[in-house]
């Protein structure tokens, strides 16, 4: 059983080692001031003048001087290599919402691994912030009021069904499946209500809608924790 390290009653901002973190930090600061680093994300945070309350990962990339500056009480080394640093963090953060920066918008393999992490820890509501997009896993029911004409894309990570209102092309009759049917480039026509029957549906909206997406996720009921969640 994995022990939770970071306990928070408010959202937590998690910073990884990828790109596009500066703009994400400015946007995320409107949502939370609690910071955690995934491995070398600590180097960037400390360089930006922000000392994270914890750094988690296999710590193979973070500078030794950063670890010294943070101290042992704010450092957790997880040496197993069956999960990514992003997943190691999600497994050890208990918060109503995690905002992730430095995980998408760079290397394709890292970005795909981040989406895998969202699916693996579907019970941990998380928003990944990129240069153009805010991306999350759809909760069982999501209600969000975006600007008319806003882009609202859906991308399945497994075979599933969903229902929607407030989209130009509602998805009630769509049988989503990777390699068969996706739902990208849809448009908002009114208050959106989305219901998914499986925790495997990515929601992609413009990054300008980050705060609205965070509010909607905080109001939604999350997916239940699976019995295998401790295997992170």
Query: What is the reported pLDDT for 20?
Result: 85
Each residue's pLDDT expressed in tens, for the chain with a length of 232 residues: 678 899 999 999 999 998 889 999 888 888 999 999 999 999 999 999 999 999 999 998 999 999 999 999 999 999 888 899 999 999 999 999 999 999 998 889 999 999 999 999 999 999 999 999 999 999 999 999 999 999 999 999 999 999 999 999 999 999 999 999 999 999 999 999 999 999 999 999 999 999 999 999 999 999 999 865 544 3
The DSSP code sequence of 77-138 is E---SSS-HHHHHHTTEE-S-EEEESSSSS-HHHHHHHHHHHHHTTTS-EEEE-SSEEEEE-
- Tell whether 173 and 65 lie within a shared domain: no
Whether residue 108 sits in one domain with residue 5? yes
Joined tokens for residue 19:
């790109």
Any domain includes 223: no
What was the pLDDT predicted at 228?
55
Q: Which residues span the domain enclosing 145?
A: 132-208
Are 124 and 157 part of one and the same domain? no
Instruction: Say whether both 125 and 144 belong to one domain.
Output: no
Does residue 97 contact residue 174 with C-beta atoms inside 8 Å?
Answer: no
For residues 118 and 168, state if they share a domain. Answer: no
Looking at the structure, tell me whether residues 152 and 178 fall in a common domain: yes
Looking at the structure, tell me whether residues 126 and 136 fall in a common domain: no
Q: Which position has the token pair 């969640």?
A: 229
**End-to-end Cα separation, the chain, in angstroms:** 9
What is the DSSP-derived secondary structure letter of residue 92? T
Q: Which CATH number is 93's domain given?
A: 3.40.50.10240
Which value, to the nearest 10 degrees, does the dihedral of the CA atoms of residues 202, 221, 33, 87 take? -50
Domain boundary among 70, 102, 131: 131
Count of structural domains, the chain = 2
The reply to whether 106 and 144 lie within a common domain is: no
Q: Please tell me the predicted confidence (pLDDT) of residue 1.
A: 67
Residue 47 lies in a domain: yes
20: left (phi over 0), alpha (psi -120 to 50) or beta: left
In this predicted structure, what is the pLDDT of residue 81? Answer: 80
> How many residues are recorded in the chain?
232
For the beta carbon of residue 218, count every other beta carbon within 10 angstroms.
14
Domain CATH code at residue 177: 2.60.120.320
């Amino acid at each position: 059983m994995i022990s939770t390290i970071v306990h928070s009653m408010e959202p937590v901002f998690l910073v990884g080692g990828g790109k596009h973190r500066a703009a994400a930090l400015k946007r995320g600061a409107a949502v939370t001031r609690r910071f955690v680093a995934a491995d070398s994300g600590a180097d960037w945070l400390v360089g930006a003048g922000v000392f994270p309350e914890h750094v988690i990962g296999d710590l193979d990339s973070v500078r030794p001087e950063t670890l010294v500056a943070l101290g042992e009480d704010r450092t957790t080394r997880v040496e197993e290599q069956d999960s990514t640093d992003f997943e190691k963090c999600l497994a050890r953060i208990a918060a109503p919402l995690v905002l992730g920066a430095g995980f998408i918008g760079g290397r394709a393999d890292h970005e795909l691994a981040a989406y895998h992490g969202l699916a693996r820890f579907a019970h941990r509501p998380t928003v990944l912030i990129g240069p153009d997009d805010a991306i999350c896993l759809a909760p069982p029911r999501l209600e969000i009021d975006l600007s008319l004409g806003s882009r609202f894309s859906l991308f399945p990570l497994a075979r599933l069904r969903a229902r929607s209102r407030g989209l130009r092309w509602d998805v009630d009759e769509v049988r989503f499946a990777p390699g068969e049917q996706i739902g990208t480039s849809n448009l908002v026509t009114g208050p959106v209500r989305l219901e998914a029957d499986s925790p495997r549906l990515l929601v992609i909206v413009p990054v300008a809608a980050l705060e609205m997406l965070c509010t909607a996720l905080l109001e939604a009921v999350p997916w239940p924790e699976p019995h295998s969640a401790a295997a992170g």
